Amino acid sequence: MSISDEFAFIKDIQPDRLFHAEKVVGIGDDAAIIGVEEGFEKIVCVDTMVEGVHFTRETMKPFDIGYKALAANISDVAAMGGYPLYYLVSITIPKSWTQEELKSIYDGMKSLGEQYEMDLIGGDTTSGKTMVLSVFVIGKVENSKRLLRSNARVGDVMFVSGTVGDAAGGLDILLHNKNADKFETLVESHQRPKPQVTLGRILSKFERVSLNDVSDGLASELLEIAEASQVDIFINKETIPISEDLQRYDADNALKWALTGGEDFELVGSIPETDWAKLEKECLIAGMKITKIGTVASGEGKAFIKSYNGAVQELKKEGYNHFNRG
């Protein structure tokens, strides 16, 4: 391990305060103890980033690696309509990483975690040949307010927040050293995605919502909802929200990245048509972009995209393989 003193390092990354001190026993014992108040259920999720698969040091600074690792998990909590509360970190450290770089990874997590008043309550450090960073997040959501993939029903409106494909475009810029200074928004979308916790909380107010976060690409997320709800989903090509920056950077690949790029961490889902106008209004008040992209129909768990000329093509569950791009 490249840390000179593991215990000193753990002490160095240990938070000097807890946002939820009355509900948690954190770092310092063999395990953490947490509490969630009556009327809430716990949300538990974990995400792992492996060097050479999910990031390289050429495309991500250590701070951004930590930031993004936590962001991926916060996004999962957002997709359930919940609040993120606590996180734990398991890290495998190769000798090639310096102590300063490792501290920067934790600083990235701390920076994002403080935005949501999250507490770091434990973890593990080991040595190995490849950097592996696993982040485990615990959140909460009100009883009976779970926003499940299986909640879609025939006649629902399909929607997606923000724009999609930007993260894949940003990665393409970084991998090929293309005009990073001209497309900073795309690069930032890849390195420091923004979890949509506020939107998740807005959606939790509605009676029935199906929801996914866009981690593996829009097509894959739509299919997961369709399969879980046993319905078919139809989206319109012309309504998929693609940013002007992505169109300017690479119009030929923009749609492919929007459908299969992933790691945008926007929210995609369905809501009864009778609730759509209210949701639009609430998002407008909150300053958030949300777009109707299609509808839910009876079926057996498939998703389709309609082109401008009326042609219909079935979508496949193919997430984007970032580091095998040819």
Q: Was 215 annotated as part of a binding site? A: yes
How confident is the model over 139-179, as pLDDT tens digits? 999 998 889 999 999 999 999 999 999 999 999 999 998 77
**pLDDT-derived band of residue 309, with 50, 70 and 90 as boundaries?**
confident
Residue appearing with tokens 């093509």: 313
Report the alpha-carbon distance of residue 76 to residue 326 in Å, rounded.
30
Q: Was 213 annotated as part of a binding site? A: yes
In 128-238 the beta strands, taken as DSSP E runs, fall at 132-142, 157-161, 210-213, 231-236
Q: Was 139 annotated as part of a binding site? A: no
Q: CB under 8 Å to 195, separation ≥6 — which residues?
A: 71, 74, 75, 77, 78, 213, 265
Largest CA distance in the chain: 64
CATH number of 6-142: 3.30.1330.10
- pLDDT, residue 21, reads 56
Q: Was 263 annotated as part of a binding site? A: yes
Q: Was 172 annotated as part of a binding site? A: no
What is the average pLDDT score of the chain?
A: 90
How confident is the model over 171-228, as pLDDT tens digits? 999 999 877 789 999 999 999 999 999 999 999 999 999 999 999 999 999 999 999 9
Q: pTM surpassing 0.85?
A: yes
Q: Was 76 annotated as part of a binding site? A: yes
Cβ atoms of residues 96 and 2 within 8 Å: yes
The amino acid sitting at 322 is H
Q: Was 124 annotated as part of a binding site? A: yes
**What residue spans define the domains of the chain?**
6-142, 149-314
Helices (H), 79-164: 99-115
- pLDDT, residue 310, reads 86
Percent of the chain with pLDDT over 90: 79
Q: Was 149 annotated as part of a binding site? A: yes
Q: Which CATH architecture has domain 149-314?
A: Alpha-Beta Complex (3.90)
Q: Was 30 annotated as part of a binding site? A: yes
Higher pLDDT, 150 or 2: 150
How confident is the model over 67-79, as pLDDT tens digits? 999 999 999 999 9
Q: Was 264 annotated as part of a binding site? A: no
